[in-house]
């Protein structure tokens, strides 16, 4: 697989694509949010080869995962991967029904693109934050498949 391609971390529907500022990925960044409904496969995949820099569980609310406030307010596990092209942050976010998130990442571990990152029970959300130099290849409304759909390309 082309090393410059970033693949979807989850099955679902793209509900947000935006430029953002995120200190976890060194400032200017691109955010892609994917909503997983109850019929989607809820396994999360590693979007790009990298070394796990941090894994943090944050307790919070259980708002409906399609609500953009869920990215900030809901229960979540945030994993930051370090790659030669920059840092990549994956948020596994619990939804209204989903109350359990599993994450297999461990600090210092090498993760392989397409490998299992974890699992979220039922309707949930997965956010991927990438360095600003990445060209995003999806738009709001696109349906994506975890481990297969190309989300972006490293310039």
- Give the catalytic positions in this structure: 124
Burial string for 115-154 (b: 16+ CB within 10 Å, else e) reads ebbbbbebbbbbbbbbbbebebbbeeebebebbebbbbeb
Tell me how far apart the 2 most distant CA atoms of the chain are, in Å: 38
Residues 6+ apart with CB under 8 A from 72: none
């Amino acid at each position: 697989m082309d090393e410059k391609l970033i693949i979807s971390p989850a099955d679902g529907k793209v509900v947000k694509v935006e430029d953002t500022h995120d200190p976890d990925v060194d400032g200017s960044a691109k955010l892609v949010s994917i909503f997983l409904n109850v019929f989607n496969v809820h396994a999360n995949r590693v979007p790009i080869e990298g070394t796990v820099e941090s894994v943090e569980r944050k307790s919070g609310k259980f708002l409906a995962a399609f609500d953009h406030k869920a990215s900030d307010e809901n229960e979540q596990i945030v994993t930051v991967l370090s790659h030669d092209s920059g840092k990549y942050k994956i948020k596994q976010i619990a939804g209204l029904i989903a109350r359990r998130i599993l994450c297999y990442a461990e600090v210092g571990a090498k993760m392989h693109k397409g490998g299992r990152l974890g699992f979220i029970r039922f309707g949930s959300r997965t956010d991927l934050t990438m360095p600003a130099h990445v060209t995003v290849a999806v738009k709001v409304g696109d349906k994506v498949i975890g481990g297969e759909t190309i989300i972006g390309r490293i310039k």
